[in-house]
Structure 1
Amino acid sequence: MDIDALNADFGLPGTLRIAVGRGGLTMIEVYNGLANALISTHGGQVLSYCPAGAPDDLLFVSERAWFAPGKEIKGGVPICWPWFGADPDTADLDVPDRGIHGFARRLPWSILATAALPSGATRVTLGLADDADTRVLWRHHFNLLVEITVGSTLTVELITRNAGDRSFQITQGLHSYFRVGDATQARVLGLAGCDYIDKAAGANDAILTQDGPLRVAAEVNRIYESVPPVLTIEDPVLARRIRISSRHSATTVVWNPWVATARAMADLDDGDYRIMLCVETVNAASEVIGIPGGGEARLAAEYAIEPLE
């Protein structure tokens, strides 16, 4: 990819530049005075966001993350699409294992537009369209966009457009990895009273109800349903709140791998479970999205850092 040509077409002097990053991947660097951010065109993925004056990044990225074509990057805000979780069509004889969480997070996206907004924020639009390779994995025509707005808050909006004549169904998610000072001291507010499917090892998909704030003291892998539009992570170690405001989503996944799973992951350090917590804006479980031919669907989350008083 010609970095000079990309900067000529999409660079914003004093605000946004495009550079070669880890693993030779193309990175978009935003530094607009309101915040600094790093976006990978591989996976269409935000890797870093730090508002002006904030001492710590909003996001966690593993030091052992893979930065390579065909691999997912462990951390930031990966895009899970067109399915969230396990492959929903395991009977596909052409490709017996299409992988967990879909293929969008493992593919290169194109830069479609960049813009300096009147608010001082910066918007980056990336796109992914079907081709012969994607149609081996998923036999549908689509245009997928992600609009990333970097300002005093971070907004990520995923837009699915059905470019064919036949309807299709998707599940999807913004698999946000938040940096926390100590996961065992953080708590997630807003889920009390919500039912969840417990996907942790040995839980056998039990359906339970959240009682009070969620705290991490073991592996957490839960799909919450009928959730409110705003959730909050309180982090006493980093003395901050992370406010997650979702749109077009009624399901949330909360994940922390804990000790054994972290040790089993080649792209995660053994102790990383202590400094990360995923609270994910998703359409999953019973929330399956149908999109007619020519139609579209959206999924969005806005992330804000607030001081913990």
Structure 2
Amino acid sequence: MDLDALNAAFDLPGVLRFVEGRGGLTLIEIDNGLARATLTTHGAQVLSYRPAGVRDDLLFVSKRAYFAPDREIKGGVPICWPWFGRDPAEPERIIHGFARLRDWSVLACETRPDGATWVRFGLADEAETHALWPHYFNLWVEVTVGATLSVSLTTRNAGDEPFAITQGLHAYFSIGDPAQVRVLGLDGCRYLDKAAEAPPDAVGVQSGLLGFEAEVNRIYESVPPSLMIEDEALQRRIRIDSRHSRTAVVWNPWIAGARSMPDLDDEDYRHFVCVETVNAASEVIRVAPQQEVRIGAEYRLESL
């Protein structure tokens, strides 16, 4: 993208600017007094967020992450769309869809009355997306960087035929030590167990807090709108308030999983957990012609 043109159109002096990042990707750097954040137009993805006065980033990005136009970035908050995980209709297609691989347009950058910074990205169907998924659509991602971080994804069916989607905000949260991390709010929720060692189609019911002592890869159903990650090592809580989502994914690849992924360091399983706001598994979203649907989450850091 033309950085001069982007800065001329959307620069917020002293608050927001466009710069060139690794692999030539376009980054948006924000420092508004309430928080610092880094976004990229590649996938409309948030890469970093730190509220004022906070030392440790909310988000994790792998040092081995790919920063390239045709690759996903391992970390931050990737946008999974129009399918989450494997496409059930065509499982050989790229996992988590194509939205996180596309270069999104910047549509607006504003300072809100409370001092927060709001950025809106857009993506529409074109010949390349039709080859992957034959539907007409408009997508918008809105990111608000302030005392909290808010991310939302809106889908509009721009065609004459209905379509179905699964989707998610695949948030990677930075942690101090997985042995000292617990996820609160899932007690009593049924889950589908997708871990490598789990039997096919394994299901379970969460009892109490969720900890991490091995690979965790679960799709939880009928989840409450608020979940919490409690991190004793970093002495903080991460509150996740979801909107228009009744399923959540919790993932940590553990030792073997991290070693199997070229864009993760072997020890990276120690440094993140994913707690993802999704519409997945049985929560398939059907979008009528000219209809809009939305999914979103707000992330807040709290001290223990």
Per-residue deviation, 1:205? 2.4
2:225 equivalent in structure 1: 229
Residues 1:54 and 2:50 are matched in the alignment? no
Shift of 1:185: 1.1
* Residue 171 of structure 1, aligned match among 149, 160, 166: 166
4+ residue segments displaced more than 3 Å: none
* TM-score, structure 1 as length reference: 0.97
- Cross-structure match for 1:259: 255
Aligned partner of 1:145 among 140, 144, 147: 140
Q: State how far apart, in whole Å, the 1-side matches of 2:300 and 2:202 are.
A: 32
The reply to whether residue 272 of structure 1 matches residue 268 of structure 2 is: yes
The one-letter code sitting in structure 2 at the alignment partner of 1:229 is: P
Partner AA of 1:125 in structure 2:
R
- What's the offset of the Cα at 1:267? 0.2
**Aligned residues: CA RMSD:** 0.7
For the residues of structure 1 that align with 2:66 and 2:236, how far apart are their CA atoms? Answer: 29
Give the counterpart letter for 1:68 in structure 2.
Answer: A
| Per-residue CA distance 1:166-213 (angstroms, 9 max, x = gap) | 110000000000000011210000000000000001312211000000
State the Cα distance separating 1:307 from its structure 2 match.
Answer: 0.3
CA distance in 2, matches of 1:301, 1:164: 27
Match of 2:294 among 267, 281, 298: 298
What SS is found at the alignment partner of 2:180? coil
Q: Which amino acid aligns with 2:259?
A: R
Instruction: Using the aligned pairs only, state the percent identity.
Output: 66
Structure-2 separation of matches of 1:228 and 1:99: 30
- Deviation (angstroms), 1:165: 1.1
The Cα of 1:58 is off from its aligned counterpart by: 0.1
Residue matched to 1:109: 104
Q: Distance in 2 between matches of 1:193 and 1:279?
A: 17
1:94 maps to none
Pairwise CA distance, 1:280 = 0.2
Letter in 1 for 2:51: P
Contact (CA 8 Å) 2:123, 2:138: kept in 1 or not?
yes
Q: Could you tell me which amino acid in structure 2 is paired with residue 67 of structure 1?
A: F
1:130 to 125, 128, 141: 125
- Structure 1 unaligned blocks of 5 or more: 92-96
Give the distance between the partners of 2:90 and 2:270, measured in 1 at CA: 34
In the other structure, the counterpart of 2:8 is 8
Instruction: Please report how far the alpha carbon of residue 160 of structure 1 lies from its aligned counterpart in structure 2 after TM superposition.
Output: 0.3
Counterpart amino acid of residue 79 in structure 1: I
Gaps of 5+ in 2: none
5 Å-filtered alignment, 1:60-79, equals: 60-79=60-79
> Secondary structure of the equivalent of 1:214?
coil
Instruction: Give the letter for the 1:230 counterpart.
Output: S
